[in-house]
Structure 1
Amino acid sequence: MTRNKTFLHLAALTAAATLYLTAAGHVAAQSSARNCGPRAMVVDRLASGYGETRQSMGLGANNQVIEVFASSETGTWTITVTTPAGMTCLVASGQAFEELAEALPAPGKDA
């Protein structure tokens, strides 16, 4: 993986983690809501309905998997959280997704 791709994944995971932490309390309450379902069903819906594929992923609190899905064609994006039991909830979604290839700052220097 190139350095720029690594940075992109790190940036996406950081954003996802931030959203996850602010929404963590809501995710548990939403597990029975219509924006949650079995992971395979949610991933299929994102692919068939929006052309979104997984762009990055990471492990969050309580072994929950945080994933960023997006479509380079439509620009839509979705962040999901999946519990160890396989229940996936939509945390955030939007438009104008762009893949970034920014250079990392030099070690010891802030960007």
Structure 2
Amino acid sequence: MINRLFLVLTICVTAPTLARAKMSDVSCDDSARMLSMLTEVLGAERQGMGLRDPETMLEVWVSPRDGEWMIVQNYANGTSCIVAMGENWEAGLAGPA
């Protein structure tokens, strides 16, 4: 929970205009700034990606140091949004369940 608060505060600090936005808008930013925040600030690594539609790419990011994960939705217009996040990520094993 503390890391989620840190994530929201980081976004507000790196993009001051978002601080005045509604809380539901805080999780979106320019794709380049979002990438920088995920990799440099949070130390997250992209674990997978896939097309949602011709204009939208979904990515799963995981922080190996604490197991927190985020699903980032990237739009063709250069905007990215964190659409889900959680804790205790466990990589799945290939093969039948």
What band does the TM-score fall into relative to the shorter chain? 0.5 to 0.7
Give the strand-richer structure, 1 or 2.
2
Which amino acid counterpart does residue 75 of structure 2 have in structure 1?
A: T
Equivalent of 2:76 in 67, 80, 84? 84
1:99 is aligned to 2:76: no
Unaligned runs of 5+ residues in structure 2 are 1-21
Percent identity over paired residues: 31
Measured after TM superposition, the shift of residue 62 of structure 1 is 4.5
The equivalent of 1:56 in structure 2 is 48
Higher relative contact order (CA 8 A, sep 6+): 1
Which of the numbers 23, 27, 31 marks the counterpart of 1:35? 27
Give the superposed CA RMSD. 2.0
Q: Structure 1 residue 59: deviation in Å?
A: 0.5
Equivalent residue for 2:66?
74
Task: Choose the corresponding residue for 1:45, options 16, 37, 41.
Answer: 37
Higher helix share: 1
Question: TM-score, normalised on structure 1?
Answer: 0.60
Output the amino acid matched with 2:72: T
Unaligned runs of 5+ in 1: 1-29, 105-110
TM (normalized to structure 2)? 0.68
